[in-house]
Chain A
Amino acid sequence: MSSHNENSKLPPLDLSGWRWLPTFLMVVGGFLTLVGALLSNHYNNLREFGTSWLMAFMFYYSIALGALFMVMIHHLTDAGWSVGIRRFSEHIASLLFPWLAILFLPVALLGKRIYAWMTIDPAQNNVVAAKLPIFTVPGFWICSAIFFAVWWVLSSQLSRWSLKQDESGSVECTRKLRWYSGWGIVAYAAVLTLSGVLWMKSLQYQWFSAMHGVYFFSTCAWSGLATIYVIAAVLLRQGTLAPVLQKNYFYFIGVLMLGFTLFSAYAEFAQYFVVWNANVPEETFWYLIREHGNWWWLSMLLIAGKFFVPFFILLPAAVKTNFKVIIPTCILIWAMHALDIAFNVFPALHDQGYHLKWIWLPLGCLMLMGGFLAKIFLHKFNSHPPYPQRDPRLLEAMGVSQHAVRDLMAANTGGAK
């Protein structure tokens, strides 16, 4: 509480000096990506470029999915505190279509350079043959189109009804939002899993793990929460969301981050342990590749940076509302999440260790996409009210207790109810 007061005494954060950043990222990233594409075309037939692009795409894709999850969970649990973070989460989620779909096009077009199974004759390979008809080029395009169609319906409808709710605050809007979230969460689980399998796991098509979908979901939510925390903290300090964000809501986001730190470690440990212990060659090869060269160091780094460091930082209760500690932790989470995606994606191309001379290419792709998506996000954010104006739980989010809200409603209806 006291730190909240200190914060509100500070002058609001002025961000106008940072407007150049997304454009800058796009220019620098675009340059690096372009050079990378040309060099990669020259040296290895665009395989390096395609894989780097896929890695950067999966990074932003997973963050958008994490935000979408938080929006749906808000509606499903009828939560009070998350009203303030809902609107910008909707904006992040609605990046999924069409913008991330556009960014996906290079992956689909370069499919044959990225995915080994696309160039393998199923008649010669029974592992690919087992996955027909999905593991064909048309199958890949059709499935990807269906995935993005689902994201389009979900993210656009959740935004649309949310904006309608701003005007009327009617019950119908809330019901619609809950309805979309209800079937949406089922579709979400299915599409998230299948897209993770088709776009990421299938890089090494011989490998299979039933836990992969759960693992991918846990990291999506983890990185999404870190993003939400940072944006919420900036918008609180800047004053835009000050009315609907209490200090202890950051505690809730922090608890969720802690929870997903544990959950993603759980998912990865379970996957690793079962593969390691059963020692079946069809499965262990995936981890064996990742013990070669610098992949081994990366795996050690991930154990520390994805679990131990954030876990022990996030564990104490008081720290979760301390921006000075948690915002660097969020940046760590982003970095580790990007490395984790790289750990999943790149060994398919570099099975003896990553060629560090290419490191600037995925960074360039990340910068280009980051700048581009940030610009669109800011445009969306600036053209709509910063938080839901008539959410039924708005008063609770403003810090009015549930008992008091009930009294206010009773006053509205003349005390009859």
Chain B
Amino acid sequence: MKTKDLVLGFKPVLGFILIFGFAFAAETKTAQELSIRSNIIEELLILLGCVFILAAGIGMFRFPDFYTRLHASSKLVTLGGIGIFGGAAFAFVSLAATQRVLLTAVFFLLTSPVAGYMIARAGYLQGLKPYQEDNSVDEWQACGSETETQVN
């Protein structure tokens, strides 16, 4: 039995699939249509968060100093992440997904400043030098902190 005969033998089945398959495909919804309900508030919040995260990335690339890069990273990522999580919380249909996204947003808001504080404190106490202009003042050193030698 040749392959051509095999294909021709299944011709009614193929015709059935061709005619009714599109009808079934039109009936069934995708996963995104079932669980996401997009509206204008969600889209605006997500665009806001994206602008902040893009600014954070450019700041990480271009700023001259460890402390200024830390500033860009910790603050802007917190703000942008909360924007995107809030937008996602508006978009979900089910209540459980909204609760989980809001839990993640609260966790971001609590932990990101703590992480930034830990990195900055460790960097200063290990002696990383800040970028200085003519009239800039190192306040912690003026108060008399004990810094160790430079560790790279």
Whether chains A and B associate is no
Which residues of B does A touch, CB under 8 Å?
none
Q: Chain A interface (Cβ within 8 Å of chain B)?
A: none
